[in-house]
Amino acid sequence: MKNRSLRIFLKIALSTMLLTCIRPAPAPLPVILNSPVGETITAADITFSWQAQQPAAGYIIQVASDSNFRKIVVEETVSTASANLHLKTDGRYWWRVRARNESNIWGFWSEAAFFILQRFRVVGALKTQGYPHDLAILGNRLFIADGQAGLAIYDISIPEQPRLQGKYLDSLNVAWGVKARDSLVFLAYGYKELVIINAVRPESLKITGVLEYP
């Protein structure tokens, strides 16, 4: 009886030791996000960072265009507490991270954070009288080949408030292309003409030359 009790005790002890040896490490806790959180980013290459988990063998980061993460834009697995990702489209995004331990067990997702990618911003707008076919910028002046409305010159020193400085119009032709150099404007006009205009005084434009193609 005594030997049987000893065998049972040893068996239980051995099983306990075996279970103790193979029990995996607990899943990592959710990480805390550092940056970007509620920020407006102006560069497409973004550095995401979060607080490292100890111990953690790796992380997975997801970036989505919706707060429910149904539209995943980027998903990346990394070994450090940061990731450099490239986004192609401006807009509002959400991101989250979770950690993995050495037993390859993933923890819960972190709280999601949002940010706004805004590489381009409209600072001004203008309505032209024609259909713009081409434009050129020289200094603070904008030259527009404005279709049937001819040439239009704008002062864009204040981009939010473009100001019309001068126009050149030939109602029988269409302005197709424009280039500017020094004080001269080269206007592709009609189907076979190049008009050279002196734009020193935009309010009083003067034609200095005309080239007709054969």
In DSSP notation, the chain reads -HHHHHHHHHHHHHHHHHHHHHPPPPPPPPP-EEESSS-EE-SSEEEEEEPPPSS-SEEEEEEESSTTS-SEEEEEEESSSEEEEE--S-EEEEEEEEEE-TTS-B-PPPPPEEEEE-S---------SS---EEEEETTEEEEE-BTT-EEEEE-SSTTS-EEEEEE--TTS-EEEEEEETTEEEEEETTTEEEEEE-SSGGG-EEEEEEE--
Residues in the chain with pLDDT < 70? 1-25, 192, 214
Check residue 53 and give its pLDDT: 85
Which domains can be identified in the chain, with CATH numbers?
A: 33-117 (2.60.40.10), 134-212 (2.40.10.480)
The answer to whether the pTM exceeds 0.85 is: no
- Return the pLDDT at 214: 67
Question: Which pLDDT score, from 0 to 100, does residue 75 have?
Answer: 97
Are 187 and 153 in contact by the 8 Å Cβ rule? The answer is no
